[in-house]
């Protein structure tokens, strides 16, 4: 007989322009989360939703303080620019539809994406549909960790050699 695991995802933010997502690890009794939309890895964890929110905001604050102390610009979650590749025929059809609508190609694509995303998130049971500060079921879980208090960790996503330095006070790792 299959065992049912307690799993859920909790979204937090926005806080100072950043959002995060945490998964519950029933074995460890903790939520483990990561700030979304940046290449640096900014993690947080907590036992309760309240502790998780505090750990999330502390992690963002630690990240911003680390960047300021190193006189580096923190990564912004999203620039608003998106480069995408598509078949030439689809590009042609989108361009024609934009012209017929009296919109620029960029505005037509943005409007279409807004409609598609809103429709997708409006369907019940859609994976990832949650409002900030709410929990919902998820099929996949992350690895277990035995740490019990809220923590923050930041690591760059890098393909080159590991030139990272760890801050002793926060556990944040940055190139």
**Cα 115 → chain centroid:** 21
Q: Is residue 97 part of a domain?
A: no
> Which region holds residue 63: left if phi is over 0, alpha if psi is between -120 and 50, else beta?
alpha
As for how many domains the chain has, the answer is 1
Evaluate if residue 1 carries a pLDDT over 50.
Answer: yes
Q: Is residue 38 part of a domain?
A: yes
Q: Quick one: tokens of 121? A: 């998130």
- How many CB atoms within 10 Å of residue 100? 9
Q: Once rounded to an integer, what is the mean pLDDT over residues 26-53?
A: 92
Q: Is residue 158 part of a domain?
A: yes
pTM of the entire predicted model: 0.53
Q: Is residue 3 part of a domain?
A: no
Percent of the chain whose pLDDT exceeds 70: 66
Q: Quick one: tokens of 81? A: 């620019």
Band (pLDDT 50/70/90 cuts) for residue 146 is very low
Q: Is residue 34 part of a domain?
A: yes
Domain that holds residue 66: 9-78+130-174
């Amino acid at each position: 007989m299959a065992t049912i695991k307690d799993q859920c995802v909790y979204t937090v933010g926005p806080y100072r322009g950043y959002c995060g997502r945490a998964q519950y690890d029933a074995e460890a009794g903790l939520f483990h989360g990561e700030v979304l939309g940046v290449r640096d890895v900014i993690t947080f964890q907590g036992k309760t939703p309240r502790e998780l929110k505090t750990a999330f905001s502390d992690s963002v604050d630690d990240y911003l303080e680390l960047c300021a102390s190193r006189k580096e610009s923190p990564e912004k979650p999203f620039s608003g620019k998106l480069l995408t590749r598509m078949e030439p025929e689809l590009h042609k059809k989108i361009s024609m539809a934009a012209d017929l609508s009296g919109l620029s190609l960029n505005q037509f694509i943005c409007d279409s994406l807004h409609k598609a995303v809103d429709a997708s998130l409006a369907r019940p049971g859609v994976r990832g549909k949650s409002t900030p500060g709410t929990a919902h079921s998820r099929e996949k879980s992350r690895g277990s960790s035995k740490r019990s208090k809220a923590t923050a960790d930041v690591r760059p996503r890098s393909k080159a050699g590991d030139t990272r330095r760890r801050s002793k006070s926060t556990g944040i790792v940055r190139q």
